[in-house]
């Protein structure tokens, strides 16, 4: 047992989270009116987990015979997931009341999904990758269909499940082929011996299938078909959680696999660049045509997968650090936006179109200002954090002689300004609609304000975060 103790200490954040999840499960079992207790336990547990994960960033190590990486990037990603889970849980409480589905199981499933994400970020072995993805996905399938009475929610859950299960099949087949050609599932082994096996078609086929499975999870073109329908139908905070947490989790694996050694000398960089360009173009162009705010953000999330893949295609430290920066910023801006939408949404999936936001600037100036902050940040307008994320990524692409990709990215960012600012325009320059209501608790409002302030802070002092990011790998 003594052998295990250092392992257990180094995976502190993961263990804390698992303990909190099990505690909530127990509370759900033994207390009759369990929802408030579960809510506060989850919030407190996530805050403690963040507190434990922060000091661990500086330490690098591995645990369980090379199954897990600890500290460094694993902790950085864990913090992103904890923040996503925290914001989602806080926003969803008001939202679930509106949808008449206030059950403590919601928080429980979010916590379990977060455990899966943390495992993905910490995985140093493809078996852990698979288990993490499954744990996350199964919980997300259920969360998407959490509003049992809503047809859209059920549709969203079913679509996500069928396509997600299919994508997992590809992923697993890829892992099997990699094991078949190298005899190992260790990510460290694979990245170190990539050149040795690069001539093996079986190995490359495995890598290809792995990319397919992961591209599905991040919603990159051409594996994006599910994104709009699933995001539209799922409970609004859950859509935000999928767009930020699940995307960051899948990216943590892709970065671990491809950002270090894989890209060099092989066509994988080009492949990722094509995926990136296609995602940016399709996501941004189709987003223009949307009238539903949730669908607009769904296409915007496809586009953002494209921006982040650009940094990966670059294959240099600049691009990788850019993605890491952007993922954290994206968590705040996208969850903030989804949170505000969930405040505005009314029973029966109403008040979700652009027109419903008309004149919000005069009726609800508080919400309108915050929404504008998130939209500006999503569009990549300084001084918000979204700008610097994109900046680092595109600089990385230029340095890697992928100037064409950077140009596509910049052009598409300009296109995106159109639909993000359209929402701002509608809020400030159109006549007010009657019957505009928003319901939110003080704690939710506080968290949205906090998210907006952090975005501003990261935008003004990006180097402070970047200094940490450069030490992660």
Q: What is the contact mask toward other proteins in residues 40 to 69, using x (rule: CB under 8 A)?
A: ------------------------xx-xx-
Cβ contacts of 177-186, under 8 Å, gap ≥ 24: 177/202, 177/203, 177/205, 177/206, 177/209, 178/126, 178/203, 178/206, 178/207, 178/210, 179/126, 180/206, 181/206, 185/125, 185/126, 185/127, 186/66, 186/124, 186/125, 186/126
Indicate the residue among 77 and 420 with the shorter CB distance to other proteins: 77
Identify the CA nearest to 118 among candidates 92, 152, 169, 79: 79
Please, which of residues 121-160 interact with other proteins by CB under 8 A? Answer: 125, 127-128, 131-132, 134-135, 138-139, 141-142, 145-146, 148-149, 157
CB of 245 to other proteins, least distance (A): 15
Indicate the residue among 145 and 315 with the shorter CB distance to other proteins: 145
CB of 36 to other proteins, least distance (A): 18
Using the rule CB under 8 A, is 434 a contact of other proteins?
no
Query: Which of 37, 60, 62, 103 lies at the binding interface for other proteins (CB under 8 A)?
Result: 103
Please, which of residues 169-208 interact with other proteins by CB under 8 A? Answer: 177, 180-184, 196-197, 199-205
Indicate the residue among 140 and 337 with the shorter CB distance to other proteins: 140
How many CB atoms within 10 Å of residue 355?
11
Using the rule CB under 8 A, is 280 a contact of other proteins?
no
Indicate the residue among 28 and 155 with the shorter CB distance to other proteins: 28
Indicate the residue among 212 and 259 with the shorter CB distance to other proteins: 212
Indicate the residue among 157 and 310 with the shorter CB distance to other proteins: 157
Q: Is cis: bond before 222, omega within 30 of 0? A: yes
Using the rule CB under 8 A, is 167 a contact of other proteins?
no
**Which positions touch other proteins (CB under 8 A)?**
1, 18, 21-22, 25-26, 28-30, 64-65, 67-68, 101, 103, 105, 108-109, 112-113, 115-116, 119, 125, 127-128, 131-132, 134-135, 138-139, 141-142, 145-146, 148-149, 157, 177, 180-184, 196-197, 199-205
């Amino acid at each position: 047992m003594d052998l295990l103790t250092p392992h257990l200490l180094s995976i502190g954040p993961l263990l804390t989270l698992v303990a909190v999840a099990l505690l909530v499960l127990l509370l759900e079992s033994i207390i009759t009116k369990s929802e408030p207790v579960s809510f506060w336990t989850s919030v407190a547990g996530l805050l403690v987990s963040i507190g434990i994960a922060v000091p661990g960033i500086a330490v690098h190590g591995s645990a369980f015979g090379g199954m897990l990486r600890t500290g460094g990037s694993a902790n950085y990603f864990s913090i992103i997931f904890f923040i996503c889970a925290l914001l989602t849980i806080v926003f969803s409480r008001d939202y679930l009341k509106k949808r008449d589905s206030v059950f403590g199981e919601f928080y429980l499933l979010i916590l379990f999904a977060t455990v899966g994400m943390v495992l993905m970020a910490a995985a140093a072995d493809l078996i852990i990758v698979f288990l993490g993805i499954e744990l996350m996905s199964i919980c997300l399938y259920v969360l998407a269909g959490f509003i049992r009475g809503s047809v859209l929610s059920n549709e969203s859950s079913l679509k996500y499940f069928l396509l997600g299960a299919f994508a997992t099949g590809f992923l697993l087949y890829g892992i099997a082929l990699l094991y078949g050609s190298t005899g190992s599932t260790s990510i460290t082994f694979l990245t170190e011996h990539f050149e040795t096996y690069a001539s093996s078609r079986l190995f490359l086929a495995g890598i290809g299938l792995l990319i397919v499975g992961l591209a599905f999870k991040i919603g990159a073109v051409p594996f994006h078909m599910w994104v709009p329908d699933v995001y539209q139908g799922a409970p609004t905070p859950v859509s935000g959680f999928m767009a930020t947490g699940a995307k960051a989790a899948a990216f943590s694996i892709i970065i671990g696999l491809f950002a270090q050694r894989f890209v060099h000398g092989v066509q994988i960089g080009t492949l990722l660049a094509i995926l990136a360009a296609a995602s940016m173009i399709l996501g941004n162009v189709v987003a223009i045509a949307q009238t539903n705010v949730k669908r607009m953000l769904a296409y915007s999330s496809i586009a953002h997968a494209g921006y982040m893949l650009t940094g990966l295609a670059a294959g240099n430290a600049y691009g990788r650090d850019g993605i890491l920066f952007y993922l954290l910023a994206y968590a705040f801006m996208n969850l903030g936006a989804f949170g505000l939408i969930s405040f505005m949404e009314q029973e029966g999936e109403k008040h979700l179109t652009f027109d419903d936001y008309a004149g919000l600037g005069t009726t609800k100036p508080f919400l309108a200002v915050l929404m504008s902050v998130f939209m500006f940040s999503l569009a990549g307008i300084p001084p918000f954090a979204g700008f610097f994320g994109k900046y680092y990524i595109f600089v990385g692409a230029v340095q890697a002689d992928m100037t064409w990709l950077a140009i596509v990215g910049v052009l598409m960012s300009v296109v995106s300004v159109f639909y993000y600012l359209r929402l701002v325009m509608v809020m400030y320059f159109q006549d007010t609609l009657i019957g505009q209501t928003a319901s939110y608790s003080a704690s939710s409002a506080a968290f949205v304000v906090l998210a907006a302030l952090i975005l501003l802070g990261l935008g003004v002092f990006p180097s402070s975060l970047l200094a940490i990011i450069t030490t992660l790998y």
